Structure 1
Amino acid sequence: MASRPTSQGGRAPQRRRGHERVAALLAAASGCFVEKGYDAATMTEIAARAGAAIGSLYQFFPTKEALAEALMADHAEALYARMDRLVAQAPGCATEELAARLVRTFADYRRQHPSFVILVEAGGSLPPMLGRTIRQRMRDYLCQILAIHAPGLAAGELRPAAMVVQQLMKAAVALQNERPAALRQAAQDQLRRALALYLKELTESRPAPT
């Protein structure tokens, strides 16, 4: 839960009651953003949904942008926790299983955090550095995973390979909207196989001679 001021100010909660209030405000904001979109959602609606006075909302989040920034930071921490687990699991994963977990991780996360997608698409309404930080942090995690799974991969090739894996993970998210379900599942299976083949190719890499 966000417990520090955003880059746009606002008071950080100090006591348990304050943390609970902030959690309720963030949950309300998440629901409003999903239902109405970021631009259409208002601070008045968010406060009412949380059962809070508008003054209480402004006390912690002086602007809608500050509220969205805090919610995005919360979403990011939840995503990082998933990636931490995936890094820990990587040493024992066969290539096919790692591919399946990579595809599932991002797709499941975004399905369970729909307001993350809304805020990402809000683009210029949020500090651009926040989105870049999340994207780069994800690539850092993927570099760790690839270094474990493909120890022969040259250091200079880790980042480009992480970018490719990241794009394949995003493709798995895009497939979530495909219908009918049988077609979606077949496409996801093929995507997972494509990622597994790519990971297998990386594991067969050898360091360049010095």
Structure 2
Amino acid sequence: MSSQKSTADAAAPIAASAEGAPTAGPKMPTRERGRARVAALLAAAGAVFAEKGYDAATMTEIAARAGAPIGSLYQFFPTKAVLADALLAQYAEALMALLATVEARAATLSPAELAADLLAVLPSLKVERAAAFALIDARPDMVAQQGALRAGLRRGIAAILRAKSPALPPERAAAMAVTLLQMMKGAAALGDEPDLAHGREALAGLEHAASLFLKDALG
């Protein structure tokens, strides 16, 4: 078995205070109804943060968007900072879950198919990504968390490459992951402009470039 960590192991915790100490986490429910309520609150928070930014978003508006009493929001997330940290952690988990799905079938994919799957990861979480960027941009204490997320993504991509080609040296996989993550960000940026002229052609060209890059390195 390869010593390379799998995508499932790639995510690093991203919630921390400005001083580096872990923040007080949200209250996690144990019952199905409570979990559904938390999911709705996080979805609403993501939408509001994406639309208005961290500073302009209010807990009252988030609760109203979720159709929940404000008391329920504070029960699970006592402050807006705790809510933001939980949302960023959820975004990281969602990204790693998508990469794990790609890793699980990487060995069966052609370079073109692998390129398409990788470039689809970030655009598939468009709202969540917008919310994450709004939070990171508004909070200087998120710089370290952003770096941890980026590093986790690179490790996840490297694990996918090793799953596709076990003989690929870890150092080479890590270097390729840096390039591929930039291509993935490019695909996400194109998706952020749905009315962009020639956007589809640009995305197809990016996928083709990623495919050639993978074919050249992996065969």
TM-score by length of 2: 0.79
User: Is residue 183 of structure 1 aligned with residue 198 of structure 2?
Assistant: yes
User: Is residue 33 of structure 1 aligned with residue 46 of structure 2?
Assistant: no
Aligned to 1:54: 70
CA RMSD of superposed structures (Å): 2.3
Aligned to 2:6: none
Q: Percent identity of the aligned residues?
A: 42
Q: How many residues align?
A: 196
- Contact (CA 8 Å) 2:26, 2:86: kept in 1 or not? no
Aligned to 1:117: 130
Structure 1 unmatched ranges of 5 or more? 1-5, 205-210
Aligned to 1:154: 169
How far apart, CA to CA, are the structure 2 residues paired with 1:202 and 1:59? 51
Letter in 1 for 2:76: F
Flag the structure with more relative contact order, 1 or 2, with Cα contacts below 8 A and sequence separation at least 6. 2
Aligned to 2:104: 88
After TM superposition, give the deviation of residue 92 of structure 1 in Å. Answer: 0.6
Cα 1:35–1:88 change in 2 (3 A) is same
Q: What SS does the corresponding residue of 1:39 show, helix, strand or coil?
A: helix
Structure 2 unmatched ranges of 5 or more? 1-21
Letter in 2 for 1:13: P
How far apart, CA to CA, are the structure 1 residues paired with 2:164 and 2:208? 17
Letter in 2 for 1:120: F
Match of 1:100 among 116, 120, 128: 116
Cα 1:172–1:189 change in 2 (3 A) is same
- Off by >6 Å, runs of 4+ in structure 1: none
Aligned to 1:164: 179
Letter in 2 for 1:184: G
Q: What SS does the corresponding residue of 2:54 show, helix, strand or coil?
A: coil
After TM superposition, give the deviation of residue 185 of structure 1 in Å. Answer: 0.9
After TM superposition, give the deviation of residue 96 of structure 1 in Å. Answer: 1.4
Aligned to 1:141: 156
Return 122-131 or 151-160, whichever deviates more.
122-131
